Amino acid sequence: MITVAVGHGQTSYPVLIGDLAQALDHISALSDGQPLPLITDPRVLALHGGKLTPIALQPPILVTQGEAAKTWQSLASIVDGLAERNVRRGAPIVALGGGSVGDVAGLAASLFKRGCPIVHIPTTLLAQADSAIGGKTAIDSAGQKNLAGTFHMPALVVVDPDLLDTLDPRQLRSGYAEVVKYGLIDDPAFFAWCEAHGAALLAGDRDARRHAVGHCIRAKATMVAADALDVGGQRALLNLGHSFGHGIEAAAGIGRLLHGEAVAVGLVLAFRLSALLGHCDPADGQRVAEHLDRVRLPTRLDHVGLAGTGEALLALMMADKKATTNGPALVLVRAIGAAFLERAVPRQALSAFVRAL
């Protein structure tokens, strides 16, 4: 079992990477051996729920699979489910599943009786490499991604890359878009590793998967430690591809595209806009698109059925949480591995770029 500490403020929490069975004692120690309330979805419950039987309170609280879990309705059903199980104030809650389960369960944990510790056991590549680390929680509302949420740092995260054996290829590819993102932000050597090993990772190579998951967790831990509450600019770099990506998810109709698919298109658009604004060599964007194309991730709006929807996309981007009155804050790039935060992208340049897509 490898431990990575994620610092925030004066404190930190451990991310344990290894066999879930060997982490059960660490989890149940948080509740002094009492059974822990479990939040998951039906598919993950069927595939992996049994691994938590020794420590979980029965029955588990179930949310709908996928992005549909991130609604007010499912948030309310979790809070009610915790109340029905007489979960006491401050009792740790376990979230087993992908980023959607983690986001809504984390939000419920931050609200229930004014806050209970959450233990994340991520089961998708996206959640293991990214969403389970860092304490952002959210649900979607008013047709917008992640409109309501909190910061709620986990008490513990347990990452068992072997849980990914059961993940379908489309979900694995979606998570891989976030993996590639880490190389593009500040780690060109890792992007080169992705070019060399990404296809093997997606074909089921366990060593490649372990390497990528561990690498991304360490990278995210460093960025979160520098800027836990996402105010200083460092953590914002994790949003590379996401202002476009969230707009694309919303424009497609929330839940139709997978998050990582929208992010893949968003990453390429961030490089293309950076080139247009003179920050970056267009060849870098082409190299990124070539790699994502090779692993069969979408790289253009027409790949996701959104050709000619630039106007709607622009409106969604202007409504994004990160938009200021001068224009949206966007993560742009100077090169592969050299992302930076542009706090107010010139509105006209952005409009012209997006409308022409």
Q: Which residues bind ligand NAD (CB under 6 A)?
A: 41, 43-44, 47, 65-67, 70, 97-101, 103, 123-124, 126-127, 130-131, 134, 136, 146, 163-164, 166-167, 171, 174-175, 259
Q: Which is nearer to ligand NAD, 156 or 275 (CB)?
A: 156
Residue closest to 30 by CA, chosen among 114, 96, 121, 92? 92
Considering the complex, what minimum distance in angstroms separates the CB of residue 196 from ligand NAD?
A: 24
State which amino acid sits at residue 290: E
How far apart, in whole angstroms, are the C-alpha atoms of residue 283 and residue 320? 29
CB atoms within 10 A of CB 158: 27
Considering the complex, what minimum distance in angstroms separates the CB of residue 99 from ligand NAD?
A: 2
Considering the complex, what minimum distance in angstroms separates the CB of residue 103 from ligand NAD?
A: 5
∠ CA(184), CA(155), CA(72), 5° rounding?
80
Q: Which is nearer to ligand NAD, 173 or 272 (CB)?
A: 173
What DSSP assignment string belongs to 111-140?
Answer: HGGG---EEEEE-SHHIIIIITSS-B--EE
Q: Which residue's entry shows tokens 């590379």?
A: 240
∠ CA(171), CA(27), CA(216), 5° rounding?
40
Q: Which is nearer to ligand NAD, 275 or 317 (CB)?
A: 317
Q: Which long-range contacts (CB under 8 A, 24 or more apart) does 59-63 make?
A: 61/37, 61/85, 63/39, 63/100, 63/101, 63/104, 63/105
Q: Which residue's entry shows tokens 């949003």?
A: 239
Q: Which is nearer to ligand NAD, 96 or 275 (CB)?
A: 96
Question: What is the DSSP code (8-state) at residue 330?
Answer: E
Q: Which is nearer to ligand NAD, 146 or 299 (CB)?
A: 146
CB atoms within 10 A of CB 21: 11
Retrieve residue 103's tokens.
């986001």
Considering the complex, what minimum distance in angstroms separates the CB of residue 329 from ligand NAD?
A: 17
Q: Which is nearer to ligand NAD, 98 or 337 (CB)?
A: 98
Considering the complex, what minimum distance in angstroms separates the CB of residue 357 from ligand NAD?
A: 22
What is the torsion angle, in degrees rounded to the nearest 10, for the CA atoms of residue 3, residue 100, residue 197 and residue 224?
-50
User: Which secondary structure element, helix H or strand E, spans residue 96, and what is its range?
Assistant: strand 93-97
Considering the complex, what minimum distance in angstroms separates the CB of residue 64 from ligand NAD?
A: 9
Q: Which is nearer to ligand NAD, 137 or 274 (CB)?
A: 137
Q: Which is nearer to ligand NAD, 60 or 175 (CB)?
A: 175
How far apart, in whole angstroms, are the C-alpha atoms of residue 207 and residue 204? 9
Considering the complex, what minimum distance in angstroms separates the CB of residue 47 from ligand NAD?
A: 5
Considering the complex, what minimum distance in angstroms separates the CB of residue 176 from ligand NAD?
A: 10
Q: Which is nearer to ligand NAD, 129 or 333 (CB)?
A: 129
Q: Are 148 and 123 in contact (CB under 8 A)?
A: no
Considering the complex, what minimum distance in angstroms separates the CB of residue 216 from ligand NAD?
A: 11
